[in-house]
Amino acid sequence: MKYKKYKIRYKKERVVLSEILPYEVPLIFSNKNFYNFLLKYKIEINNYFDNSTNIKKSCEKILNILFIDRKFDDYTIPFHFKIPHKTNEYRKLSIIHPVHQIKVMNFYDTYKQAILYFSSKSEFSIRRPYKVANLFYNKNDFTNTKNIDDELNNSIEIKHHKEKYFKSFFAYKKYSHIYMFYESYEYQKNEKLFKKLYKFDISKCFDSIYTHSIAWAIYDKKTIKDNLNKINNTFADEFDKLMQNMNYKETNGVLIGPEFSRIFAELILQKIDKLVLNKLTENKILHKKDYVIFRYVDDYFLFYNEDDVKNLIIQTFNNELQKYKFYLNETKMEEFTKPFVTNITIAKKKIKDLLKEFDFDNNNKHTISSKEMIINFKAILKENEIKYNDILNYTLAIIDKKIDFIKKDINKNKYIIFENIIDNPNKINTELILVKMKKKLNNIKKNKTKDIQKDIESIMQTIDIHIKKLKMKKDLEHDTLEKDFIESINNCEKDIEDLKASAHEYKEITEYINSSLDELSMLKDFYEIYINTKDSFKESINEFDELFSFNENDEFNNIKSSIKNDCLKIKDKLFAHLKEMLKFVFFIYSESDKTSATVKLSLILAKLISFMNHNYFDKYLKNKLYKLVFDEIHHLLKRNKSRKYSHNQNLYLLINLKEIKNYKKLDFNILKTIFLSEEMNYFDIVILLYYIENDPEFKEIKEQIKEKIINKYKDFNNKNTELTLLSMDILACPFLDKDFKVKILENYKIDERGLQNYIIKFSMKQKFWFVKWKNVDILKELEEKKSYEVY
């Protein structure tokens, strides 16, 4: 069904939502409230910061904490955190200072068309910005348009692709994720045209970038030498200075993680692409005839026939890349002949077939065994000579989808729904469904335009007519009752389908109508299966109310018992199924050191925990699954203690544990040993505070955390991003006392008591700056994070 879409006016502030943060940041950390703050107070920074008159002068001290001081045109020190990269190696990711986040926002706003222009020069690139992303929303998705930005997930259009991706300032052409290229017609077409494929990439691409080389890419070295004074304040010069100043004046290497760094690299690599293309053309080696090259960020795919052509292309790339201080990665060059199938591709096919075992079928007596699944999984890796990390994300993504299907099937399982019906025999009936629908529509009608109100009133009148028709049938003879009931529901379904057709523009209405249709359908199924087939049970139906209510006689109780036994069998089988799935998932994840795999594990766990928190299982079964999750995470945390650079994964696991409500927490010694280290950084501090909250059991740990925080301010520098983020989040933290917050403010020479009180009160009113301390919807955050992944 199509909905009307309306364009939302452009807001430059959305840059801080999409272009700044690395994908790997912890779930409770984001720029969402910072974005709201910038909008609300109209914060502007050029070489100084301005704010509108709707902010009190005393609040300027808050701005000074965030933005250093009133006059600003200098460097800041980014916050770095480490994630595992290769064996015993790490990758350093970075978050830039809030002041430079706003400078990036302004840079995008000023130079967005220049970015697009200089991103259009390469014939090789398959991931490049090609327009500013359009923002759309369905008009009836939001009941209060004033809060539209709170609800909005900015979507971008991928050229040549129907699917939409979220949270990006630019729309990308052609592929937003590399797997899309592998699955594309374009890939298959070139496999038909060429005999060979050569894959290569740039070694340490972002660490190798020399920031001044952006000017070489935009103009060229000769032009720069001849016009040194004229280059100042140009697009290239501003981009160069921006990348330096956000990174402690560093010119060698750009920060890894943010999207703007990928754009910076893209502009340079586009220039190199063009130089290579021109050199090859001069040598009569023609693109799309003798070869085809595709580049996804710094990964290259070369399709060709003749080795001489390939060798010349690689030599040309080496020559041009070295002029920009880049080098090809000799260890990652791979050559393929037809068919272009890697060991990983073969393994994926086998793993996909293996994971069909996780399809839940209530009618199938076969039970899965995690031990057998693990053995078969390891056999596939061994046969194809691949490692866990090569295939883990793919495997977890399939299991994630399997869980979605299981949840959907169980939610629609007739026996589970019948149990709900039989437990509430006098509450669920045809008339009640319609009355509820009418009441809901009446609430939806409020604050809508006159045209929409008129449409809703028309729908409500139709519902009234149907209710009256049903009430007129109360005097039916008993022997016509069963036929009439089925007919009534059929008519009711038809009428509601007509209502849905007339309300197709209003998503909020049609979604509710769909749920009402589902309820009616289940009532009819229940009647046909459990009532229409048992003559004695018909006596349980109240003949004076064919709108479906019961007299609870012995036959009714027998049917009720039968349904509950059926449901118990389903739940027991489902419990065993989920338990074996979890054992398999934790085993394969235990071999991982990738944050992306941890995110996927977290999503699987969040879905399962949310599912278990519903009333499908009794307390005993729930606790058995909770214990399995708790014990496995506990084991992973202890294992990670001996692994380098695993802090980030530990933080995700700790957040997962907190989702298990009303269950035990990790003991003091585990938290102290794993998280209270000398290297404890901003993320470690805030996630640990989030986990322990105000639990008196962890009072000693909280005191040690406070000591670690105070120690960080011994080398105080207000240009330090970590201290800025930490200061703002401490001020808003509901788990730290006021006296401690005052100590933090004193580092900024804010000593006057009234001003201290105002700043703390203002921050608490904000509820959060960068860390969301309470009411975190982990499942929603994880689903949203999916759209950020680039590789």
Q: Residue 145: pLDDT above 80?
A: no
What does the pLDDT look like over 664-699, one tens digit per residue? Answer: 899 999 999 999 988 899 999 999 999 999 999 999
| pLDDT band at residue 436 under the 50/70/90 scheme | low
Structural tokens at position 632: 């496995």
What does the pLDDT look like over 280-298, one tens digit per residue? Answer: 999 999 999 999 999 999 9
The pTM score is: 0.83
Structural tokens at position 743: 């100590």
Give pLDDT, residue 320. Answer: 98
What does the pLDDT look like over 265-283, one tens digit per residue? Answer: 999 999 999 999 999 999 9
Give pLDDT, residue 593. Answer: 80
Give pLDDT, residue 560. Answer: 73
Task: Select, from the ranges 86-90, 219-223, 355-359, the one with the highest average predicted confidence (pLDDT).
Answer: 355-359
Residue 441 maps to a domain: yes
Structural tokens at position 385: 């000579």
Q: Residue 467: pLDDT above 90?
A: no
The residues, ordered by sequence, that sit 6+ positions from 68 with a Cβ below 8 Å of its Cβ are: 74, 76, 99, 718, 719
Q: What total number of domains does the chain contain?
A: 1
What does the pLDDT look like over 718-741, one tens digit per residue? Answer: 899 999 999 999 999 999 999 999
Q: Residue 538: pLDDT above 60?
A: no
Residue 246 maps to a domain: no
Residue 128 · residue 173 · CB < 8 Å: yes
Residue 516 maps to a domain: yes
What percentage of the chain exceeds 90 in pLDDT? 56
Is the bond preceding 339 in cis, omega lying within 30 degrees of 0?
yes
Q: Residue 151: pLDDT above 50?
A: no
Give pLDDT, residue 791. Answer: 66
Give pLDDT, residue 138. Answer: 38
Residue 96 maps to a domain: no
What does the pLDDT look like over 561-573, one tens digit per residue? Answer: 877 888 888 889 9
Output 746 or 43, whichever has higher pLDDT.
746
Spatial distance between the Cα atoms of 790 and 296, rounded to a whole number of angstroms: 10
Spatial distance between the Cα atoms of 73 and 426, rounded to a whole number of angstroms: 71
Q: Of the given ranges (60-69, 148-157, 780-789), which has the lowest mean pLDDT?
A: 148-157
Residue 294 maps to a domain: no
Residue 730 maps to a domain: no
Give pLDDT, residue 231. Answer: 81
Helix ranges restricted to H, 283-342 = 307-322
Give Cα 595 to chain centroid, integer Å.
13
Give pLDDT, residue 514. Answer: 63
Residue 583 · residue 628 · CB < 8 Å: yes
Long-range CB contacts (< 8 A, 24+ apart) of 418-423? Answer: 418/522, 418/526, 418/529, 418/530, 418/563, 418/567, 419/563, 419/564, 419/567, 421/522, 421/523, 421/526, 422/559, 422/560, 422/563, 422/564
Output 582 or 550, whichever has higher pLDDT.
582
C-alpha separations of 605 from 54, 572, 586, 609, 629 in Å:
44, 19, 10, 6, 8
Structural tokens at position 582: 């979890």
SS3 199: strand
Give pLDDT, residue 562. Answer: 78
Query: What spatial distance separates the first Cα and last Cα of the chain, rounded to whole Å?
Result: 32
Mean pLDDT of 150-177: 57
Is the bond preceding 661 in cis, omega lying within 30 degrees of 0?
no
Give pLDDT, residue 664. Answer: 87
Give pLDDT, residue 520. Answer: 61
- Show the domain range for 455: 426-551
Strands (E), 319-419: 334-337
What does the pLDDT look like over 224-253, one tens digit per residue? Answer: 777 767 788 899 999 999 999 999 999 999
For the beta carbon of residue 158, count every other beta carbon within 10 angstroms. 21
Residue 741 maps to a domain: no
Which phi and psi angles does 432 have, rounded to 5°?
-65, -40
Q: Residue 108: pLDDT above 90?
A: yes
Q: Which of 204, 233, 231 is closest to 216 using CA atoms?
A: 231
Give pLDDT, residue 24. Answer: 96
| pLDDT band at residue 430 under the 50/70/90 scheme | low
Q: Residue 175: pLDDT above 50?
A: yes
Residue 452 maps to a domain: yes
What does the pLDDT look like over 215-230, one tens digit per residue? Answer: 999 997 777 777 767 7
Output 460 or 341, whichever has higher pLDDT.
341
* Sheet containing 334-337, strands listed edge to edge, beginning at the edge strand earlier in sequence: 291-296, 299-304, 196-201, 334-337
In the predicted model, what is the mean pLDDT of the chain? 83
Structural tokens at position 152: 């909005």
